[in-house]
Amino acid sequence: MQVPQPRGPLTEELFSAFRLGSDDFYPVLAVAPTAAGEDAALALWTLHQLHYTGFDGVADELEWDPQLIRVRGLLERDLEARLRRRVDVPPGRSFTEDFFDWLDEQDGPSLARFVHRDATVEQVHDLLRVRSVYHLKEADPTAWVVPRVGTAAKAALMELQYDEYGDGDPNRLHHHLWARGITACGIEPSVDAHIDLAPLEILEQNNALSMFGLQRRLRGAAIGHLAAFEATSSLPSRRMAQGLERLEMPQELVDYYAEHVEADAVHEQLAVRTIAAALLAEDPALEGDLWFGAAACLELENRTALAMFERWDVTSGSGVPDSLAAPAVELAPEHKDVA
């Protein structure tokens, strides 16, 4: 993987140090506290990436460089504080009892609904490129959580993760299905081909996931995020598949979304009823962070949807396309759509 293009003073300093093969990151540490926006988000994404695949020409030892870990810590502290300010954690509600009712009450702009009815092939390709930043390592951030929870939660989480990883068959592994799907669309199945196109909102989504996974303290948020992510996947995946069929896009990509209709209808139940329940049984104090992770997942996706609508210049006054601003009309009146 190639190092991305810098987006400000911090990433200039960091990527320049990578290029020079430096092992002194004091200048990076010096600019980190004032970094903001895309610059800070890309720096954090890059530092997280050292824990996944690393980069061509960057020493593997830097994954645990104390100065870079310090920079990562500063950037994560800012991200976590920002997320906690932005989301509301519902007080006094039981995550295992009330999660699906709470989700019913949430409302947000839907990229899947736009793809279903309105998006052009070019817009879908753009979406596939920026979604690749996550989908090419789908389920990996959550795998960090496995050794950090107790027996029952660990077994439950692995029951879900095993399915994400193809039930032992590499051909069914979800991020491999994604790679095959986008390749069939003529899109390169590598993150470095697309990271420079990713807006702040996509970087933040990925950073939050990696942070929740990499920090044992935030394991509750990681599982809450997993629950909300899975529970907002099944119906939107159906819409995505139908939108792709409308645009006559390759079957491999339709298959990716079709797999997620059924898989995530299972996973959303497991995330709440077995994984979160077991986590709470071992540590009831994690209930607040389960809600935090779930709310952060939805908030980050809402921001991404609004950013993509703006990027495609398809918004009306309300920030969403006209077709999404009106209530859904294609469903029977008694159906309230959460997708």
Partner 1 sequence: MSIVRGSSEPETFEHEDAIVCPGGPLLLRGHHLVEDPDGNRHETSRPVSAVCRCDRSQSMPWCDGTHKVLPPKLRPA
Q: Which residues would be at the binding site for partner 1 (CB under 8 A)?
A: 100, 104, 151-152, 155, 159, 162-163, 167, 234-235, 238, 261-266, 268-270, 273-274, 331, 334-339
Comparing CA positions, the residue from 27, 80, 26, 59 lying closest to residue 217 is 80
> Rounded to an integer, what distance in angstroms lies between the CA atom of residue 294 and that of residue 229?
8
Q: Which residue, 194 or 260, has its beta carbon nearer to partner 1?
A: 260
> Rounded to an integer, what distance in angstroms lies between the CA atom of residue 58 and that of residue 289?
35
Q: Which residue, 20 or 332, has its beta carbon nearer to partner 1?
A: 332
Nearest-5° Cα angle at 211, 207 to 216: 170
> Rounded to an integer, what distance in angstroms lies between the CA atom of residue 190 and that of residue 176?
11
Q: Which residue, 122 or 167, has its beta carbon nearer to partner 1?
A: 167
Q: Which residue, 35 or 279, has its beta carbon nearer to partner 1?
A: 279
- Closest distance of CB 158 from partner 1, Å: 9
- Closest distance of CB 305 from partner 1, Å: 19
- Closest distance of CB 319 from partner 1, Å: 24
Both tokens of residue 246?
Answer: 């409308």
Q: Which residue, 106 or 302, has its beta carbon nearer to partner 1?
A: 106
Q: Please state, as a whole number, how many other Cβ atoms lie within 10 Å of the Cβ of residue 259.
A: 18
- Closest distance of CB 220 from partner 1, Å: 20
- Closest distance of CB 112 from partner 1, Å: 12
Nearest-5° Cα angle at 161, 191 to 178: 35
Q: Which residue, 158 or 200, has its beta carbon nearer to partner 1?
A: 158
Burial class from Cβ neighbours inside 10 Å (0-12, 13-18, 19+) for residue 54 reads middle
> Rounded to an integer, what distance in angstroms lies between the CA atom of residue 87 and that of residue 89?
6
Nearest-5° Cα angle at 199, 3 to 176: 65
Comparing CA positions, the residue from 201, 165, 199, 1 lying closest to residue 83 is 201
Could you identify the residue written with the tokens 């020493």? 59
- Closest distance of CB 186 from partner 1, Å: 29
Q: Which residue, 29 or 265, has its beta carbon nearer to partner 1?
A: 265
Both tokens of residue 278?
Answer: 């077991």
> Cβ distance 292 to 220 under 8 Å?
yes
- Closest distance of CB 261 from partner 1, Å: 5
Q: Which residue, 52 or 100, has its beta carbon nearer to partner 1?
A: 100
Q: Please state, as a whole number, how many other Cβ atoms lie within 10 Å of the Cβ of residue 120.
A: 12
- Closest distance of CB 273 from partner 1, Å: 6
